[in-house]
Amino acid sequence: MHVTLLGYTPMPEKTIAAAAKLCYSDTGASDLMDGLDDEKTARFLDMLASIGHESPIEHASFTFAIEGVSRTLLAQITRHRIASFSVQSQRYVRQDNFVYITPPAIAEDADTHQLFDDAMQASYEAYNHLADALAAKHKAALTAAGMDEKEAARKAEKMAIEDARFVLPNACETKMVVTMNARSLHNFFRMRCCRRAQWEIRDLATEMLRLCSAAAPALFAHAGPPCCSGACPEGKMSCGKMAEVRESFKAVRNG
């Protein structure tokens, strides 16, 4: 897995503090940034967190490039609907360089690892056989209909791989660009940094939090699973290791 913070709202913390300042003071739009030094900005952000006023933090957004993750993760992260996603298409990009993600529990055992690798290889071979057979079929039909041979080959390839991809596994690697505003990110971290989250998206969320904290430390000072800012809401499903989790995410936020 590799995650890069491509960009974010300039001066994200001061932008949010300015929005909050407008809510709570008789200030004109042209004067919002006046007097907003780092100390006052941090106080505004602490105040917003303490009273649960989250709408001002929507004014800052963060964009990430993510690669080395599975289609299983893609199915999970796109459930976070207040976000923007650009995902490498299996309709347009043939899987010639077939990369797949191996779960750690499978990788740590030689027998299960071999079984997994064999299954991946079988699906890759089936994909290529299907893509080649379908491409030949479509090209023949298109050229018979009068299409130029070069154009027929190009179109046939796309038609072939959009159907051949149905045999590709959830383990198949994907790449994406994701943008979320800070409020959505806080929600994402609450849900996906928790130890009860699935391992791959938990690793992704933790790395995204590390990058966000480096860019805007005051904004994400209390971000992480729910037990970082209060009691664990999981009841009998709790991991029971709240103190350990809090310490681990303190280290994440502090770089």
Cα(119)–Cα(113) distance, rounded to whole angstroms? Answer: 10
Residue 192 bears catalytic tag:
yes
Strand partners of residue 86: 177
Pair of tokens at residue 66: 């993510």
Q: Which of 94, 183, 190, 192 is catalytic?
A: 192
User: Which 8-state DSSP code applies to residue 100?
Assistant: B
Mapping DSSP to helix (H, G, I), strand (E, B) and coil, where does residue 4 land? Answer: strand
- The number of residues making up the chain comes to 255
Mapping DSSP to helix (H, G, I), strand (E, B) and coil, where does residue 62 land? Answer: strand
Pair of tokens at residue 26: 């008789």
Contact 173, 69 (CB under 8 A): yes
Residues serving a catalytic function are: 192
